[in-house]
């Protein structure tokens, strides 16, 4: 029943991107409440619920420091202070506009161009807050390895507790769980017009968010907004 924490990017509450993410996934990470999902012709509501079940547990977000349990001797209060200090030392930046993309069997929103600032933010979050992370269990390591890791990803898993960080990091806002090829085709066609208005402008990043999962059976919820010290001129 150990709690887990993560540092995520999340859109500002009430923004078009936030409203879209909560509606598409069917849950608000702010309130924890269910949100009506869009009606899709020919697709039963329970089918869309199943296709979005995995990302719904985490809330609409982009991972920076992946979920972790606290190391023995570390407290949630101390983590929050450290995370606030981490954010307060950073300058805001503008991320390239998003685009809808396939990531293997998943659909996600990803930056339309590389962002050095975003990559540095994620790497620094992984590194600077790592003193709070408990080592992964053997079961968790085995689960990660079942995906088939490269030697580099295996090294990252052992060093940072997650294989898709640092040079293997790819920022994404997950929209579905794993889909079959026909499901990918269908949902991509549905999502493209829904996401197109959200992909026209660059994304202003001036904060990160501390998420908390109270236990393995509970979804992640936003615990705190961590604002950056300076804004974009």
Question: What's the whole-number mean pLDDT along residues 48-64?
Answer: 95
pLDDT for the residue numbered 57: 94
Question: In the predicted model, is pLDDT for residue 233 greater than 50?
Answer: no
Residue with tokens 């089918």: 47
The stretch 160-169 carries a mean pLDDT of: 95
Mean pLDDT of the region 72-84: 97
Domain boundaries, the chain: 4-227
Mean pLDDT across the chain, nearest whole number? 94
Share of the chain above pLDDT 70, in %: 98
Q: CA 22 to CA 18: how far, in whole Å? A: 6
Residue 200 has pLDDT above 70, yes or no: yes
Alpha-carbon distance of 102 to 117, in angstroms, equals: 23
| pLDDT value at residue 1 | 63
Task: Provide the pLDDT for residue 40.
Answer: 87
Q: Which of 214, 191, 179, 211 lies closest to 28, judged by CA?
A: 211
User: Which among 93, 94, 98, 90 is positioned nearest to 60, based on CA atoms?
Assistant: 98
Report whether pLDDT(168) > 70. yes
Looking at residue 108, what is its pLDDT? 98
DSSP codes, 153-200 = HHHHHHHHS-SSSGGG----EE--S---HHHHHHHHHHHHHHHGGGGS
Q: Which residue has the higher pLDDT, 119 or 147?
A: 119
- The residue with tokens 């685009």 is 99
Task: Tell me the mean pLDDT in the region 17-24.
Answer: 96
4-227: CATH topology: Cyclic Phosphodiesterase; Chain: A, (3.90.1140)
- Predicted confidence (pLDDT) per residue in 96-118, tens digit: 999 999 999 999 999 999 999 99
Predicted local distance difference test score (pLDDT) of residue 228: 96
129 close to 65: Cβ distance less than 8 angstroms = yes
Cβ neighbours for 34, distance < 8 A, ≥ 6 positions apart: 26, 27
Q: Which of 74, 83, 173 is nearest to 126 (CA)?
A: 83
Burial of 48 per CB tally in 10 Å (0-12, 13-18, 19+):
buried
CA distance 157 to 148: 12
Give bridge partners of residue 213 from the DSSP assignment. 4
* Cα distance between the two ends of the chain: 44
pLDDT of residue 216: 87
Give the mean model confidence (pLDDT) for residues 67-86: 97
Taking only the tens place, the pLDDT of each residue in 87-101 is 999 999 999 999 999
Which pTM does this prediction carry? Answer: 0.93
Q: Which residues contact 105 (CB under 8 A, 6 or more apart)?
A: 178, 179, 180, 184
- 39 to 24, 48, 100: CA distances (angstroms): 10, 9, 20
């Amino acid at each position: 029943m150990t709690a887990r924490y993560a540092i995520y990017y999340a859109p500002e509450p009430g923004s078009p991107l936030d409203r879209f993410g909560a509606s598409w996934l069917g849950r608000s990470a702010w309130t924890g409440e269910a949100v009506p999902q869009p009606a899709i012709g020919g697709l039963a509501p329970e089918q869309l619920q199943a296709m979005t079940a995995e990302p719904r547990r985490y809330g609409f977000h982009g991972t920076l420091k992946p979920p972790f349990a606290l190391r023995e001797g570390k407290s949630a209060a101390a983590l929050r202070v450290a995370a606030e200090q981490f954010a307060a030392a950073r300058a805001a930046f503008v991320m390239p506009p998003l685009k809808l993309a396939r990531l293997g069997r998943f659909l996600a929103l990803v930056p339309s161009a590389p962002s050095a600032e975003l990559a540095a933010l994620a790497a620094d979050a992984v590194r600077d807050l790592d003193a709070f992370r408990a080592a992964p269990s053997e079961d968790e390591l085995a689960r990660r390895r079942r995906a088939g890791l490269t030697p580099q990803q295996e090294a990252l898993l052992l060093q940072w507790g997650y294989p898709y960080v640092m040079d293997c990091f790819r920022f994404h806002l997950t929209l579905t769980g794993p889909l079959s090829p026909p499901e990918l085709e269908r949902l991509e066609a549905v999502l493209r017009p829904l996401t197109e208005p959200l992909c026209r402008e660059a994304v202003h990043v001036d904060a990160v968010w501390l998420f908390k999962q109270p236990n393995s059976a509970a979804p992640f919820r936003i615990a705190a907004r961590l604002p950056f010290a300076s804004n974009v001129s």
